[in-house]
Amino acid sequence: MSNKKVCVVGAGGFIGSHLCEHLLIKDYQVTGVDLSDLRLSGILEHPNFNWQTMDYSLGENPQILAQNHPVVINAAALCNPSLYNTQDLQVMHSNFNAPQKLANECAETGTWLIHFSTSEIYGYGDATQALHESTPSNLGSVGARRWSYATAKLLLERWLVGLEKERNLAWTVIRPFNILGPRMDYIPGVDGQGTPRVMANFSSALLKGQALPIVDGGKAQRAFTWVGDAVKAVELILKNPSSSKNQAFNIGNPANEISMIALAQQMVEIYRKIQSQNPHLAPVAKPALRHVKGTEYYGPGYEDSIRRLPDISKAQKLLSWQPQTDLLTTLYGCLEWFTQHYGNLVCK
């Protein structure tokens, strides 16, 4: 079978939906697997797209996915910082037990598994330099429940290496660094509950006319990556199997590094411009920011790394991949989508 036929597990999610769209544009035959197809309404009738409703987290029929496709891309994950130290077991099951079964089937059938891991496997990281794929992990103590997600993802990576050595699995790991774009997460009280990731969190506050929550002084720094650049990297992985099999790749945009408080300030300014042309939207709150401790906002056991900057030289060298979208364009693209999609649904 040709590598132009792929199965995307987690197709109904944020990254998975964008990946399916991109691969269809590039003439791939795509099978999408997930519980919900709400993010896929634009491609459900595409002649090269096959949708399967399946609860991947329960390990339903992983052999079917592996047997019928030369490549399986696993973009499914329970990825929400508010759950890491409140629903540890669910987080670890979703990010280790379920993908472990899929990986075992891929090894059994000779299927190439491309797996989305996380940049959080680096843990506290190194505030003084960029993180290379060979940088050792430095996770918090067992008592710091916040690291449940990273621990599960890291263990799965080690499982893949073990399957390669003992059962000849062909694998590729993607470590995404803070991917942003339309359809990311949800707005609490509209189409979800709890605390989403930072982009949806800040967007929700802006749309509701509330102050943006700044956790622990907003000192943490992250490098944000446009989702279109990220899915292009996956395409290049598929096109370059000899360079990408049995390799891990950082996928991020180091040029887009910013602190959380600076991110909030920039989003406030962008939103003000959008709101000035759309008076039905709630105005920016006064004050626009509110400070809160991480343990109060996310719960006991919360910790975080102060900086997580990707070294992408490996992807540049082996895949000829280079992110193209700057931070301002990325933030505008996200906020414009949130205001268009939720502006009439969110009440102040």
Structure tokens at 37: 């197809």
Establish whether the linkage from the previous residue to 287 is cis, with ω within 30° of 0. yes
Decide if 149 is catalytic: yes
Structure tokens at 202: 């800040």
CA separation for the pair 215, 260 (Å, rounded): 8
CA dihedral 13, 58, 56, 170 (to 10 degrees): 120
Catalytic one of 28, 84, 122, 149: 149
CA separation for the pair 196, 132 (Å, rounded): 27
Q: Which of 230, 114, 234, 241 is nearest to 173 (CA)?
A: 114
Tell how strand 71-74 and strand 5-9 pair up. Answer: parallel
CA separation for the pair 244, 173 (Å, rounded): 9
Q: Which residues are catalytic?
A: 149
